[in-house]
Structure 1
Amino acid sequence: MSRSLRRGALAATAIVFSIAALSACGAGNDAQSLGVKPDNAAITVDDVKIQNALVITQPLDVAKGPAVVSATVFNNGRLPQTIQSITLPGSSASVALKSASGAGPIIVPAGGSVVIGGKGNASAVIENGSEATRDGDAQKVVFKLSRTGDVGLSAFVVPATSYFKDFGPEIVPAPPGTQPTATATPSGAAEGEHGGEPSGEASHAAGH
C-alpha cells in the first residue's frame, strides 16, 4: 500500500471513531465524563464548564406553560460554587431554581458536577416560557455562579419530545380545546369497568 493510501485509510478510521464518539453523547453522564464533545451548547470559564445547555419548551407549540433550562454544570475548582441565578437576557422571563433535594440553593461541589433538568435532578423552570422562547431559536442563557460570576452561552430551544421529553417541563397543560391527561372521566370509566360491574357480579354470585 502506498504512503498516500495509508494516510487516507487512517483518516477514514479517525472519522468513524469520531462519529461513534458523538453517538455516545446520548448515553448519559458517563459519556460526558469521558470528555465526549457534546452536540449542544458548551462553554468553559475559569473552573466552570457548562455542557449540553438547552431551553426545553412544551411538547406542543400550541400549549401554554413553563419551559425549562437543562444543562450539566462542572466545577473543576477546589471550592464549591452556588448557582445564584439563571437569566435569559433580552426577555422578561424569570427562572425559578430548585436543588435536587428541593431545599436550599443549587450547589456545584468542588471537583464535581450538577445536572439541571430531568427527574431527580435540580431544576430551572422558566415561568413564562411559552412567551419568552420559541422552538428553533438560539436563546442567550446566563448562569451566575458565586465565585466565577456570569457565564453566558447560546442554547438551542427545543420542544420536550424525542430525546428531550424526559428533561422537559413537568407541568404540561392540555392544548386548547382538549381534555387534560388526567381527568375524573377516565378515572371514573376505569372504576366502572374494573371496579363497579365486576364487584356487582361478585356480590350477586356470593348471594347465590
Structure 2
Amino acid sequence: MQLVVGRIGRAHGIKGEVTVEVRTDEPELRLGPGAVLATDPAGVGPLTIETGRVHSGRLLLRFAGVKDRTGAEALRNTLLIAEIDPEDVPEDPEEFYDHQLMDLDVVTVDGVEIGRITEISHLPSQDLFIVERPDGSEVMIPFVAEIVPEIDLEAQRAIIDPPPGLIDADQAVVASARDAEAADATESGEAGDDEKGDA
C-alpha cells in the first residue's frame, strides 16, 4: 500500500536541503536517512533521503543527488510516498497509522453522523482530522482523547464528543440562547418569589 508521508516545501539554505510538511506519525521511521520514497509527480522520484534534521520545529531533508538550492527548489510541492504493509500496525494500541484512519465514518457519541475522514494533518501541537461532510463542506477535528474518545476499526468509525461550536458554529449560538432563556426564567421566578414575600 502506498501512502503519502510528506510534502516538500521550500528550499532551505544553499546546500540542497528542503523543508518537509510531515504527514506521518512516524517521521523517524518513514522519513529517516536511507529511506527511498516514490513521488507525485512520479517523474521526480524515486528520492533517497541522505540526511535529515529538525530546525526551528521543521523537518529538513536532503536527498541524494540534490546538491544546491536550485535542485531543492525544483522539488517544491512534490508529495513523498512510502510503501507500507497494510497489515502493519503500531505497537501501542492507542496509536494509529494514517491509512487506518482514512475514510473512517465520523459519528458523535449521540450517534449523529458527521462525515468521513479524508485527510490527517500533522501539526506541531496536535493532529487534525479533515472530515468531509455529506454536503461537501469540511470540518477540522483535533485528534485528542477529549474530543475523539474512541476509534473503532472493526466498525470503521471514529467516535467524537465535540465541544459546542466545533462541528456547527450555530451550536454555540443555540447554547447561548438556551442559557439566556434559562436566565430569564430564573429572573421571572425570583421576581415571583419577591412578590409572594411582599404579600
* Same fold at TM > 0.5: no
Structure with bigger RCO (C-alpha 8 Å, 6+ apart)? 1
Higher helix share: 1
TM-score, with normalisation over the residues of structure 1? 0.28
Higher strand share: 2
TM-score, with normalisation over the residues of structure 2? 0.29
